Amino acid sequence: MRRVPEGDNMARDVCARCGHIHYANPKIVVGSVATHGDLILLCRRAIEPRRGFWTLPAGFLEEHETAEDGARREAREEACAEIAIDALLAVYSIVHLSQIQLMYRARLETPSVAAGPESLAVKLYPWEDIPWTELAFPSVKWALEHWRKTRDLRAFPPFSNP
């Protein structure tokens, strides 16, 4: 049943028999703006939501996985890409979805990429050819713009929601 457990201040799902409290916590998404020179890796989504739209390689962090390892795994799964993480680019709070997104700045170890099972296609785009009107989520646009601001910087504080 839904109630405020003793010592808490928020309604939670609580088992009426044993009193176990189920805590629903935000999901953590990890991903990267991965580049090869001045080219940026984008993936055309093969899954909902936003199937057919372009995104950065990103997805949910798995249990017992570091955020950096998760971002590397997502690049492998979605684009058959090996990446080297450079820096934490941004931490976005997507409140309506209960998500925290950790986006990294990364470079491709090799320009060889291919669509993984969650991608219809992958492509390395120059900045001027990015399909801005076909991006899957606002946070993809934010991350691309934040990458652009930092591409020549060695150190910078991570960005947050614009």
Triad 84, 87, 93: Cα angle to 5°: 120
DSSP 3-state assignment of 94?
strand
Residue range 1-53, pLDDT digits in tens: 999 999 999 999 999 999 999 999 999 999 999 999 999 999 999 999 999 99
Whole-number Å distance between alpha carbons of 71 and 105: 10
pLDDT band at 99 (very low <50, low <70, confident <90, very high): very high
pLDDT band at 142 (very low <50, low <70, confident <90, very high): very high
pTM: 0.92
Superfamily for the 25-150 domain? Nucleoside Triphosphate Pyrophosphohydrolase (3.90.79.10)
Give me the helices (H) in the chain, please: 67-79, 138-150
Domain extent listing, the chain: 25-150
